Amino acid sequence: MLEATPLTEGWTLRHDGRALPAAVPGCVHTDLLAAGVIPDPFLGRNETEVAWVGRREWTYESDLAAASGHEQTDLVFEGLDTAAEILLDGRLLGRVRNMHRSYRFDVTGVSGRLAVRFASAYTEAEAVRQRLGDRPNAYAEPFPYLRKMACSFGWDWGPTLVTAGIWRPVRLEHWSTARIARVRPLVTVEGGPGRVELAVDVERTRVEADLTLEARIGDVRARAEIDGTSGTVRLEVPDPDLWWPRGYGRQPLYDVELTLGHNGSALDVWRRRIGFRSVELDRSADEHGTGFTLAVNGTRLFARGVNWIPDDVFPSRITRERYRERLTQAADAGVDLVRVWGGGIYESEDFYEACDELGLLVWQDFPFACAAYPEEQPLRGEVEAEARENVVRLMPHPSLVLWNGNNENLWGFRDWGWEERLAGDSWGEGYYLGVLPRVVAELDPTRPYTAGSPWSGSWDHHPNAPAHGTHHSWEVWNREDYAEYRGYVPRFVAEFGWQAPPAYATLRRALPGEELAPHSPGMLHHQKAADGNGKLQRGLARHFAVPQEGFSARDFDRWHYLTQVNQARAIAAGIEHWRSHWPVCAGTIVWQLNDCWPVTSWAAVDGDGRPKPLYHELRRLYADRLLTLQAGDGGGLVLAAVNQAGEDWAAVLRLRRMSVDGTVVAETDRALSAAARTVARLGVPPELEPVGPKEFLVADAWGSPTSGGEAESGGGLRALHFPVPDREVPYPRPEFDVTVAPGAVTVTARTLVRDLLLQADRLAPEARADTGLVTLLPGERVTMGVRGWKASGDSAAEAARSALYCVEPTR
């Protein structure tokens, strides 16, 4: 039977003639940090102090004893970052140049000193660039010339920390006669039964040995012979429980076990969990353009998505528990789809297993982003090899529903001046429209493939055409007010976002001792977007009266709060509008869920794992049922009742035209009905539309669905419409009462209180509130759960009041 021996102990890292203790898996930066050689690059401006690390060569060493009672011993690296030589007692075992692949070397009967000598990623990439010629790139870094996590070289939300190291596990495998080299599980559901076809490749030491395959799922068993080095075994499960995305059903998973045998003895075993489900991507043309709608088990769905970047710039630090925490945050926010973005990595099994269990659909980019990628050797062979390995590795996961060729490169070729600069040089099109779809079609025909995001489906339409395929909406953040989201209806919005700084406690940890201001040195260093603070300021000025310079501590606190409000409002403007146009628009994927370090960015959860107000707003925006007030096509206001639940929705709707002083100017009640998976649109009577800056409209719906379903929290759903920007609204000075009980803060409004927010981390760095922005009418109250803060009594009420923020009258 194959035996595996992890190689995690006894590693050293050579540094200036010294041997430092090294963690494997790990990377150079984390080892140097643990040894006290470098400061924490996440704090202050230390990032610049450690830039030298990415320009150096590094060597990891350990003693290797490969002797065993088996016929063969292999040294297996699951991941090496990135360009390295592997030597055993000075003898070269091999050279590698791809972070996204695993490697295997025959070390049978050999012992000695193992060395993994890493070249600088800069040196390797720049040598390839010199050989193949320069290509256009969104950043002045050479990441397209090396198969490495692109955002190691910095991004508009990430630091430039170019890593090296043994970033995934390494082990010895001892085996005899034969081992399982690859298993491709093709899982299909046709009518009643679920079928699993396991296509198996083996490696042999004895060609003449008769090999068998035995597979089982529960009580279902099957057997087949190995013909040479390959074989296929098929299982049929009668009437399996189907795997569904969260919100649509359960996520049953089935254990599959495959045993490679010889003369009645087991030589090797392969185990995975699978789920039975079908997935289709409808890209058919219609009167609106070209669709892009996912269907799981025949049910078409509006994808409620978030973009995922590596959760740490040093991916070896991301544990199984951390993946689970972050993805649970996504699921708890109503997310049902996570897009693994193409400037990062193929994530570990822990990521996809968590998605399987949580019912999160996975859209997987191949790792290409924002640059022209050469198609010549040595890159072309590496691209195909990594694609083949990772397609097969990830195939068992039912959560994986879409392969995507790249991020923004087809768009870049057409719109960013690449075509002229390239003058006929290769740039990646052969990967996205050739190599990758061919690999997916050959190895994983059960899943759809799309050439890129954005992508209209063919060169007949602009790559980022809103009416065709996937669309990235970045004009709004870069140049326009977020109200412009409401001006069009893309078929699928795969990227859009708005920035905000991280939580206050995160800033305090990352910028110790700094007097915080939007343009203070540390704040600017932790803002990587071009003119990011300028865009934040211009975005605020369209809605709020804010200081332009000379920030006091109070001014910074207001700026910090208002930028977070603006982020939540911006995303709400897009999602509410686009969801109200289902099924023409079939999904939104917010940029982005998470951060890889403490930074001002588009994330809903900051680099320390603290939710921003946007996170809580997503819980409302991505709930099964949503009320929103929108401009009608023919003028006037329309109330859209979005019902993505599987049950019809019947409710009582109350519309109130109100003054900011709390007076009800006019109101009416009416019945609201929305069938399952539909949007009901109701015109607002003209006499209820607010007039002038002092008035606004409140829409409340309460009541139970016609059959089953959950009761809405607080007794109902609410939508608000203010006809003018906040800076023009004559808000009253907010008045409210605060009481504190263990684990809860209750606020009772005596006036209109707009976008009340409890910043719990100002009470204690570890404190978390379960509620984000909430608007209270006079006499209304809200109770916000707080964990990680134990204070009580009068002093606690005053402390809580100091951590409460809301929109104030324009000064």
Active site residues: 408
Q: List CB contacts of 573: < 8 A, sequence separation 6 or more.
A: 482, 483, 485, 486
The residue type of 57 is E
**113 forms bridges with which residues in the sheet?**
63
Alpha-carbon distance of 555 to 544, in angstroms, equals 13
Q: How much is the CA Rg of the chain, to the nearest whole Å?
A: 28
Alpha-carbon distance of 598 to 543, in angstroms, equals 27
**Distances from the Cα of 179 to the Cα of 2, 78, 158, 262, angstroms:** 7, 17, 41, 11
Where are the alpha helices (H) located in 465-591, listed in sequence order? 475-479, 504-510, 521-525, 532-541, 553-579
Residue with tokens 């940090």: 33
Q: Taking every pair of C-alpha atoms in the chain, what is the biggest distance, in angstroms?
A: 90
Alpha-carbon distance of 354 to 263, in angstroms, equals 38
> What tokens appear for 327 in the block?
């993805």
Alpha-carbon distance of 258 to 273, in angstroms, equals 12
CA angle, residues 156, 158, 161, in degrees to nearest 5: 130
**CA 579 and chain centroid, separation:** 20
Beta carbons of 583 and 293 less than 8 angstroms apart: yes
Secondary structure (3-state) at 692: coil
**Distances from the Cα of 781 to the Cα of 393, 589, 758, 778, angstroms:** 51, 33, 14, 9
Alpha-carbon distance of 120 to 53, in angstroms, equals 9
The residue type of 555 is D
Alpha-carbon distance of 62 to 467, in angstroms, equals 57
- Using N-to-C axis directions, what is the helix angle for 349-358 and 320-332, rounded to 10°? 30
**CA 226 and chain centroid, separation:** 40
Instruction: State residue 582 phi and psi, 5-degree precision.
Output: -65, 140
